[in-house]
Structure 1
Amino acid sequence: MKNSLLIGRLAGIRIFLHWTFLLLLGFLVFGEVRRGSSYGAVLVSVGFVLALFACVVLHELGHSLMARRFGIGTRSITLLPIGGLATLERIPEKPRQELLVALAGPAVNVLLAAILYPFVAPLGAFEGIGLRHDAVGPGFLTALFWVNVLLVAFNAIPAFPMDGGRVLRALLAMRLGRPRATAIAAGLGRLLAVGFVFYGLFNNPFLVLIGIFVYFGAYTENASVQHRELLGDYTVGHAMITNYLTLAPSDSVQHAADTLLAGSDQDLIVLDQGRAVGVLTRPLLMAALRDHRLTTAVAEVMSREFDTVEISDSLAAVYARALRLPNAFFPVLENQRLRGVIDQSNLTEFLTIRAALSQ
């Protein structure tokens, strides 16, 4: 995820820390110091937040390892101030698989709570969930026990994008199909989000942040699923652009600039004997122009690392890839020969046309 720091790997999965998480720690330390807390109390509070997010990582790892059983990889797990996010390569195709993947995360927290319970029960674990600085061991474990209980309870809410919403979608999808099931779960998620924001405005500002996250998470997932449904069984060949501009490796930067001005393309493919050997993106071209490299060959400034798609690839799969890229642009190949290009713009246009025809 952009603006995130790689902090390690677990079970082969990259763990990222979003920069806003550091703001949370800074806010926590500032609050403790402002209250006049001792140095030890500050360390306990920071340590507790780190332990809390360790539980969140294990929660997301539960989802990831269950998804791996069904042949679905996990690109990364990102820690955010409001929780964790496991980025799976794709949604499980079968509702039963999604059900098990959704349940695996909370199951980890149930297990952690069960492990902690024998240690905290004799200490009055049910007297409260506050972290007591005067009893680091008991207070720390008691609070951590309740954190896992609350994580289970929060994720059990049957509204997307919480795990409970994914469970609801999986159960509904068995009877209604994924698009309709997603619309219902996402609708509940947006309704819940509005409630969070309204309540948070008058009581707890943190709930406003959660409400915004839930609302846009539900909206984005619903839009993504509905779009993939519209794409159906179409392939890249149905939506690719066949009228595109190309360059040769020996062309100059000046010629590339003139070619860019002559059309509406933002990125230009560099061909060598009919094969795509590079891509000259607009930022790369602008950088070369700023350096006054007008006579430099395109081969010296182009990018040789670029993603391609096959003409027979599923359009829905390519759409899912494009969503993860800020400026998606794919040369389309057939038997290693260039046949067209596809980008976010014409994917959006194809979706717009399909939506109009489906009504």
Structure 2
Amino acid sequence: MKWSLKLGSVAGIKILVHWTFVLLLAWIVFSEMRQGSDLQTTLLSVGFVLTIFACVVLHELGHSLTAQRYGVQTKMITLLPIGGVASLERIPENPKQELLIALAGPAVNVVIAFILWLALPSLSGVPTEEFFTRITPANFLYLLMFVNIMLVLFNAIPAFPMDGGRVLRALLSFKLGRVRATQIAANLGQMLAIFFVFMGFFGNPFLILIGVFVFFGAYSENMIVQHLDFLRGHSVREGMMTNYVTLSPTETVRDALDKLLLGSEHDFVVEQDGQVVGTLTRMQLIQAIKNEQMQAPVANIMTQEIRTFNVQDKLSEAYSELQKARASIYPVLENGRLAGVINSDNINEFILIKSALAH
């Protein structure tokens, strides 16, 4: 994720913290200062939040390491002010595998809370309200146990993209299939999201943020699964464009700009004698203009490290790749030679046509 700092890696999984996380820590420091807290209390509050997010990292590692058992890799875990995000390359369509991956994260929090419960002495009497609002060395670990229990309960909400939504989808998939199960889980998630937003206007405004996050997360998950279902059984050959404009590596930036203005292409494949040597985007051309490189050959500014597809590859795999990759266009090869190009717009048109034909 852009503007993130790498903290380290575990089992090949990068642990990143987004720059906005600093805003959370700054807000905590500001809140403590406004209450007149001394330096020790302020540092304790910051330390408590950092400890919570250490538990969040362990939660996400639970998902990621379980996914690795099923051949699903995780590129990174990113810490945001609202929690952690594990970037799994895909969600398994096997309901048993998805169920175990979804349960693995909350299971880590259950283990943490259980260990703390065993290690800490029992509380005498009912805790006061101040016990939960002021962090002290005496209640630090008790509150950490409580937070881990809350993380389990929060993630149990049956709404995408929370773990509870994936658990519900996996359980429904055993009987109803993945597409129908996703529709039910997504609809339930969106209803809960609307409820969160409604309650947020009368109580905690943070519920509004959670509601929006859940609503669009559920909508996105439902759309992706439906799209993949439409693409199932189709090859890249069926979804690629065969009418396209290419550039040669010796053409200049000015030549490329002329082709950009004359046609509808925003991005180009650079090829020589049928062999793909790179790609060139509109933004690269604009940058070349700013750098006064009008007469430079496109070979000097093109992207040379590119991913290609074969005409026989699954169209669903190309769709998934385009959803998570930064590249806007991919060359399609047949017997090692350029046969077409594919991008998100063309696949979306393919899905639209297939959806219309299905009705």
Q: TM-score by structure 2 length?
A: 0.95
Cα drift, residue 19 of structure 1: 2.5
Give the gaps of 5 or more residues in structure 2: none
Q: Hey, what does 2:230 align to over in structure 1? A: 230
Q: Does 1:38 align with 2:38?
A: yes
Which residue identity does 2:16 align to in structure 1?
F
Q: Hey, what does 1:281 align to over in structure 2? A: 281
Change in Cα spacing, 1:291 to 1:163, as seen in structure 2 (3 Å) is closer
Q: Does 1:166 align with 2:194?
A: no
Partner of 1:130, secondary structure, is helix
* CA shift digits 1:133-172 (9 cap, x unpaired): 4x41x31100000011111111112222221111111110
Which residue identity does 2:305 align to in structure 1?
E
Structure 1 consecutive aligned stretches of length 4 or more whose deviation exceeds 6 Å = none
Which residue identity does 1:80 align to in structure 2?
L
Cα drift, residue 306 of structure 1: 1.9
* CA shift digits 1:161-217 (9 cap, x unpaired): 221111111110011000110111111111111111111122111111111111111
Q: Hey, what does 2:119 align to over in structure 1? A: 119
Which residue identity does 2:245 align to in structure 1?
L
- Alignment check: 8 A CA contact 2:110 2:148 kept: yes
Q: 2:127, 2:81 → 1: CA distance?
A: 27
Segment drifting more, 109-118 vs 252-261: 252-261
Q: 1:9, 1:173 → 2: CA distance?
A: 33
Cα drift, residue 326 of structure 1: 5.0
Q: Hey, what does 1:2 align to over in structure 2? A: 2
- Alignment check: 8 A CA contact 1:131 1:143 kept: no
Which residue identity does 2:14 align to in structure 1?
R
Q: Hey, what does 2:213 align to over in structure 1? A: 213
Q: Does 1:179 align with 2:179?
A: yes
The alignment yields a C-alpha RMSD, in angstroms, of 1.6
Q: How many residues are treated as equivalent by the alignment?
A: 357
Change in Cα spacing, 1:31 to 1:106, as seen in structure 2 (3 Å) is same
* CA shift digits 1:331-350 (9 cap, x unpaired): 11122211100011111111
Q: 1:3, 1:188 → 2: CA distance?
A: 34
Cα drift, residue 114 of structure 1: 1.0
Partner of 1:127, secondary structure, is coil
Q: 1:73, 1:125 → 2: CA distance?
A: 47
Cα drift, residue 126 of structure 1: 6.4
Cα drift, residue 94 of structure 1: 0.8
Which residue identity does 2:191 align to in structure 1?
L
Q: Hey, what does 1:76 align to over in structure 2? A: 76
Cα drift, residue 131 of structure 1: 5.6
How high is the sequence identity, in percent, across the aligned residues?
54
Give the gaps of 5 or more residues in structure 1: none
Q: Hey, what does 1:54 align to over in structure 2? A: 54
Partner of 1:85, secondary structure, is strand
